[in-house]
Amino acid sequence: MDLKSIIQKSLLQPKDELGDRSTYVGASDLGCERKGCLEKLAPSQKSFETLVRFKRGDLAESIVKEALENCNISHVSQLESIHPEKPHVRAHLDFTFTNRNEIGVLECKSVSFIPKEPYDGWEKQIYYQMGLLALNHRKKKIKGAVIALDLQTGDVRIFNGYKHNPLIFRELEASADRIWQSLQNKDIQNLKTNRSALCSYCQYRENCPAFFVDGSTVVDLSPIQKDVDRYMDAKLLEREGKSLSFQAKARIQRFLGQFRTGRAGKTLIEVSERQKETLDSKAFKSAHPDLFEKFKKTTPYTVLTVS
């Protein structure tokens, strides 16, 4: 067994503290009801890259946990909170802080980049967790926060100020009930879908009714509209930049005339003549078609056209 296989086998080991996730609806299942249900009914084969990305979340949690312990901040990790009347409605809280009057819950997220606003799925998780705490600790105030860490850049952002909201929790409780009922019936027809930027990572989107425009094969990219807009803006700037660069280059060379070196402030400008050898593939193919076929190389590439 090679090292990659050994690592993958280790990453596939379930977390003991989460128990059998097929027996309850957790906070992470609520981002999209359809996906949350299918992950229990038809678990997908996680790629090595996906498993590593999941492990990154554990690393982020360990960083926060170590910081809390080093500062002697009293907390509980992975507290299980269960609905007093519905054992299938439960959550495992990353970090919980308790004093005489209130309980605080902190949800930890590892990201490739930190969004300006928390994802909808993150907020569902924190409201679900706070709601379960409120059911079990009716005399205490419940508050929450989400911390997002980018392990590559070291950036961190805390989305704070969440308070238990009974109306929101009732909606999430109903969502958990729908998922649970669908699990019992093995039927996902009545489940809701939630389109977001996280659809990019969903392994069940191929047949998702909310992922396509009018049921066609044209993918609805509205959840990542900002990325499409940024791409179009960047391509426009790229074209304008090339045009401006070409014009400026022509003016600089015209100003230099027969000279080969110039200076503009601290910037040194040099003009030099160089040569490169290229193959006239069209002429070579015409003169030596057999050799051309023998040595030609086909390289696939992707073209993204935005109009």
Cβ pair 115, 17 in contact under 8 A? no
Domain spanning 10-199, CATH class: alpha beta
Using the structure block, give the residue that is written with the tokens 């070291």: 154
The pLDDT score that the predictor gives to residue 179 is: 92
- Per the CB < 8 A criterion, the answer to whether 120 and 159 are in contact is no
pTM above 0.85, yes or no: no
What pLDDT does residue 180 have?
93
Ranges under pLDDT 70 in the chain: 1, 15-19, 197, 211-220, 305-307
H/E element holding 33?
Answer: helix 33-41
Rounded to an integer, what distance in angstroms lies between the CA atom of residue 268 and that of residue 205? 54
Q: What phi-psi label fits residue 306: left (phi over 0), alpha (psi between -120 and 50 degrees) or beta?
A: beta
Helix (H, G, I), strand (E, B) or coil at 75: coil
Per the rule left: phi > 0, alpha: psi between -120 and 50, beta: everything else, 289 is alpha
What is the structure's pLDDT at 159? 96
Intra-chain end-to-end CA distance of the chain, in Å: 49
Q: Which residues contact 163 (CB under 8 A, 6 or more apart)?
A: 130, 141, 142, 143, 144
Q: Give Cα 173 to chain centroid, integer Å.
A: 25
Tokens 């093995």 sit at which residue?
Answer: 186
Contacts of 241 (CB under 8 A, 6+ apart): none
What are the pLDDT digits (tens) for 76-104? 999 999 999 999 999 999 999 999 899 99
**34 in Cβ contact with 188 (< 8 Å):** yes
CA nearest to 230, candidates 304, 131, 169: 304
In 3D space, the residue among 80, 83, 107 whose CA is nearest the CA of residue 180 turns out to be 83
CA–CA separation, 168 and 159 (whole Å): 18
Distance, in Å, from the CA atom of 40 to the CA atom of 120, rounded to the nearest integer, reads: 21
The pLDDT, as a whole number, for residue 16 is: 64
Instruction: Give residue 266's pLDDT.
Output: 83
For the chain, what are the domain ranges? 10-199
Across 81-101, b (16+ Cβ under 10 Å) vs e yields: bebeeeebbbbbbbbbbbeee
- The predicted-structure confidence for 196-207, as pLDDT tens digits, reads as follows 767 777 778 777
Question: For residue 173, which of 278, 84, 298 has the smallest C-alpha distance?
Answer: 84
d(CA 44, CA 14): 14
